[in-house]
Amino acid sequence: MLATYLIGLREGLEAGLIVGILVAYLAKLGRRDLLGRLWIGIGLAIAVALGVGAALTWGPYAMTFQAQEILGGVLSIVAVAMVTWMTFWMGSHGASLSKELRSSVDAAIDRSWFALVVLGAVSVGREGIETALFVWANAAGGSDPLLATLGAVLGILTAVVISWGISRGLVRFNLGRFFTWTGLFLIFVAAGVLAYGIGDLQEASVIPGWGTHAYSLVAIVPPGSWYGTVLAGIFNFSPEPTWAQVFAWVAYVVITVPLYLLMLRRRSRARAAAAAVPAAAAAAAPPAAPVAPVSGGRVAERIETP
């Protein structure tokens, strides 16, 4: 439940920030008359995400056992790929997200009335489909899919409240730190989903080696224990993984974690360099004349991801 809660919270915040940027920019342009088109697109995106979730939940029941395992394994791998790509994309493009979205709004306004509907649907739909797919993949390997789904719903509702509070200036917290740490956490969750997907493909005889365990931790982590249940629910932990599952988990973590930390380091250096330029210019500039305060001024705040 904790894993799906954080998935829902993170993806919901990303979608909420995108919606906040789009709405705020249209208001800034004085085009509130176009908000209806934007909300139509957002509504379509939510409907598609719910449809994907429903299809993943009830669709496989008409399939054979082997077909279900193949579908589950393939979709688990796809979910890992989508979450990994989105984690790195947000880490490298988050600072310019607001600018990119404003440019997209300008282009959509110049095209046609339907272009803004498409922009809202695509911007939010990507987050919704990714959430539905990853939550399903994580819940499929957990012991209680109902709790996993409930965790995702609670995470999304929390994200809605936080996004509303940010847009109203009522909530302030370090979004950069939040996305950084949740991104690292989701890498380990994704590693477990990947191992589970490999296990599904082994059960379907697509990948050999099912039934041959690399090691057994049943004596240390019994499957029925509360901590075994927690580990299985959050990280898809298996006390008796196959060699293919172990190799997939280790390879994913060994490759992804260093690349993620390297990206964070480069981003930190880029920010430090960008901050040093105006500081040096300000130090070299002559002192400015004092300016009388202006009463009644208002500061427009914009919503941006780190």
Instruction: Write down the domain spans for the chain.
Output: 2-269
Give residue 294's pLDDT.
41
Give residue 244's pLDDT.
95
Q: What is the pLDDT of residues 74-86, one digit of tens each?
A: 988 988 998 898 8
Among residues of the chain, what percentage have pLDDT more than 70?
Answer: 83
How does residue 260 score in pLDDT terms, banded at 50, 70 and 90?
Answer: very high
1-5, 123-127, 274-278: the lowest-pLDDT one: 274-278
**What is the model's pTM?**
0.74
Q: Two tokens at 221?
A: 């982590």
Q: What is the pLDDT of residues 11-25, one digit of tens each?
A: 888 888 888 888 888
Give residue 297's pLDDT.
37
Q: Which residue has the higher pLDDT, 73 or 270?
A: 73
Q: What is the pLDDT of residues 129-160, one digit of tens each?
A: 888 887 877 776 655 667 777 888 888 888 88
- CA 113 to mean position of chain CA atoms: 29
Mean pLDDT of the chain: 80
Q: How far apart are CA 229 and CA 231, in angstroms?
A: 6
Q: What is the pLDDT of residues 173-221, one digit of tens each?
A: 677 777 888 888 889 989 999 999 999 999 999 999 898 999 999 999 8
Q: How far apart are CA 90 and CA 181, in angstroms?
A: 13
**Would you say residue 290 has pLDDT above 60?**
no
- CA 284 to mean position of chain CA atoms: 42
Mean pLDDT for the stretch of residues 285-290: 56
Which residues have CB under 8 Å from 93's CB, separation 6+? 100
**Would you say residue 292 has pLDDT above 50?**
no
Give residue 303's pLDDT.
42
